[in-house]
Amino acid sequence: MPLAFKKETFRDNYDYSNSQDAIKRFPFPFAEDQYMYSVNIEPHVKGKPGSVCEFAFDVDEHYVGECLDKQITLDLDRGRYAVLPHMMDAQWDFVELTMEALANDYPEHFSLKKDGLNWTWENKPLNIKHSFVFGDASTMPMDPFEYMSRQVQGDFVLLDQRDDTLYADGGFVTSQADWSLAFDVGMSWREWHAPVPRATELGVMDRALKYLMNIQLGSPVRRLNWTMTVNPRLDTSPENYPLWGTDRNTVNPENIEDKIHLRVELQSLFRLPRSNGIVFSIRCYLISLKELATYPRWAKRLHRVQKTMHPDLVEYKGMTKFHPMMVEWLSQFDDGETLSVGTQPE
Amino acid sequence: MSMIDVKVAAVEQVTPLVKHFTFVRQDGLAFPAFSGGSHVVVSMNVGGRVFRNPYSLMGSPADTSAYHISVRKQEHSRGGSLFMHESIEVGSSLQITYPVNLFALAKKAHKHILIAGGIGITPFMSQLFDLHRLNANFELHYAYRSPEHGAFADQLKASYGSQLRCYTDSQGGRIDLLALLSKQPLGTHVYVCGPNPMVVAVIETAKNLGWPDNTIHSEQFLSPGVGEPFKIHLKKSEIEVHVPADMSMLEAIELAGVEADYLCRGGVCGRCEVDVLESDGALLHHDHFLTDAEKASGKKIMPCVSRARCQKLVLDL
């Protein structure tokens, strides 16, 4: 079925919603009644038709709106894009990966024609057509990595693997859950994960690093991460905290179902061929409590998960202000029914 | 594990002991590009028994029409290299893994010193393309037994004449490691691939001269080797597995139908690491992955190359 792209805003008047189809395919992350921080990585293999994991990079009804929002955020702050000079091979790896995936998986919207190193890329939804020489940055209107990061939903971090660890040596980050590219660029794995509570003690980060460094070409992996966000805002960056931080004070029992959104990140990691680097893709999905509660099973599950959340995590995820009110609102759906393990809506 | 079905498109005898193989994909598609220093694991079915050996990819990483490897016929081959030399010909079918790089160039290095011994030239055969393309400052020091054993030496001289130095053992040629490594500018990285004594000598010399650990790179795939037969017990699978003299633990485990993780199968990557739950004898660690302390603790073993001399060995598999 061809996608109908919606006109949306992720700031100011927040003109954003999910269609029935989008709600049904939402990547709900809680399979059990209690949440425990874990690495929960699995192979990023082809998922069920219609699911967010059907393809390597999911394109959905929010595509055009999100790409526009990326551009606004980047125009306001060029610091959201950064890449170190030794990452040029990784930039081209990223171009190849994303162009091939989109053209192959969504042929009605994207096309890629190759004649040796002479490539022509067409992006119909964004009305872009460009011919260039693969590997020759002078034939691109901007950095190759920036060019394609603007045309794929989500944030992207380029990781360099050296000295037995991973370094965040490039990124295009405009929809982050309160972390800063300008602050983290050039950092090693251990440095940028230092703030995660309880994970370092559990040894989770060391095990995850070992696993990631072994990611193989042709065998990408994925995991889900989540938080709660007030308003459907993609750019919840520390740089713009003054613009969204106080939104937490606007939540009340009347508007909570429209204001509070479950924010799920589909994080995927791909080994890159020429650079031996890794691209970390962080795709953000937003759903309001009201939309989510159209499936009672999800509302019950989220109620139990939030009710038993460790206070450190409530604080880390920035939910302290509205957490009790949210648990109270969700409780109206929870009749105590035993829920089987699994994330399905029904 | 994702594998690629390939067909042998060309075989060339490069030296009396080394053959060069060209692979193309069975499905006619392009191979993925790769990074200099990568290897693939080639899967060979030798009379019903599967050998999986790692070989460095040679040639330009940007050439996606074919992959190239070179295989030295090992004197004490358990079957793998002998099979490649005697049974593989143009048109033969094989399976390979996607490329893996455990010997990557340090992209931030100011200068690269590459030191190869014999067949250890192979990973450099792709790295040289990357270094050249990136306009990097590099030197290649290549030592071999005698002129007829200097695989690809003529080709290298033609392409990289001024950056190459060859050392022919039969003519008294020796690399003076101390002189070479003591005069390098800050930010230089050294890479070595070759016989064990050479690798150890380069690492020791560089360390003694105060080179930081992260500037010293080596790759040395081990072959599983031959040893005494022994028995292992797999706790999760609840089976006993007999490890014959000429088979690795990993191969015996696979033959028993138990799926175990692996990547390089040469004691380097760490992927097949397994917990030792019980043992009543000596673990014979042959890998380059575990630290000395880990080896001494007797809690972990790399079944791809290591063995044991004991009556009882229980693994968490």
Which DSSP string corresponds to A160-197?
A: EEETTEEEEEEEE-SS-BS--HHHHTT-BHHHHTTTST
- Record the tokens describing residue B163, joined without a space: 């950056």
Query: Is there a contact between A275 and B97 if contact means CB atoms under 8 Å apart?
Result: no
pLDDT, tens digit, 9 for 90 and up, residues B7-17:
999 999 999 99
The residue-averaged pLDDT of B13-23 equals 97
User: Three-class SS of residue A227?
Assistant: strand
pLDDT one-digit tens code per residue, A179-236 = 777 777 778 887 877 766 665 555 667 777 877 888 889 989 998 999 999 999 998 8
Token pair for A129: 């057509």
pLDDT digits (tens, 9 = 90+) for A143-168: 999 999 999 999 999 999 998 899 99
What is the nearest CA distance from A280 to chain B, expressed in angstroms?
A: 18
Best probe of the B interface among A158, A214, A276, A278, by most B CBs < 10 A, is A276
How far is B116 from B198, CA to CA, in rounded Å?
Answer: 9
Residue A214: what pLDDT? Answer: 84
Of the listed ranges A122-136, A228-242, A263-277, the least confidently predicted one is A228-242
Q: What's the rounded mean pLDDT across residues B141-159?
A: 96
Q: Is A134 exposed, middle or buried (0-12, 13-18, 19+ CB in 10 A)?
A: middle
Q: Taking the CA of residue B204 as centre, how many other CA atoms within 13 Å lie in the half-sphere pointing to its CB? A: 6
More confident residue, B76 or B157: B157
C-alpha–C-alpha distance, residues A161 and B107, integer Å: 10
Is B99 part of the contact surface with chain A (CB cutoff 8 Å)?
yes
What is the predicted pLDDT for the residue at A198? 60
**Chain B residue with minimal CA distance to A97?**
B32
Contact residues for A23 (Cβ-Cβ < 8 A; gap 6+): A287, A291, A292, A294, A295, A345
pLDDT at B275: 95
In the three-class reduction of DSSP (H, G, I as helix; E, B as strand; rest coil), residue A66 is classed as helix
Q: Which residues of chain B does A160 touch, with a Cβ-Cβ cutoff of 8 Å?
A: 107
Q: Which of A270-274, A310-314, B303-307 has the highest mean pLDDT?
A: A270-274
B282 DSSP β-pair partners? B309
Tell me how far apart the alpha carbons of residues B251 and B245 are, in angstroms, rounded to a whole number: 12
Res. A99: pLDDT tops 70? yes
pLDDT score for A248: 84
Q: Which domains does chain B have, with CATH numbers?
A: 3-101 (2.40.30.10), 111-219 (3.40.50.80), 230-315 (3.10.20.30)
Query: Average pLDDT for residues B31-47, to the nearest whole number?
Result: 93
Regarding predicted confidence, which is higher, B53 or A204?
Answer: B53
- Band of pLDDT at residue B220, cut at 50, 70 and 90: confident
The alpha carbon of residue B172 is apart from the nearest alpha carbon of chain A, in Å, by 36
> Measured between CB atoms, does B35 come within 8 Å of chain A?
yes
Are A162 and B62 a contacting pair at CB < 8 A? no
For the annotated catalytic residues of A, the residue numbers are 223
- Beta strands B49-56 and B307-309, pairing class: unpaired
Task: Transcribe A249-264 into DSSP letters.
Answer: GG--TTTHHHHEEEEE
Q: List the 54-93 stretch of B: residues with Cβ below 8 A of A.
A: 61-62
Interface residue B284 vs chain A (CB under 8 A): no
Joined together, the tokens standing for residue B48 give: 């019903």
* Weakest-pLDDT range from A36-50, A121-135, B207-221: A36-50
Size of interface A-B (CB pairs under 8 A): 54
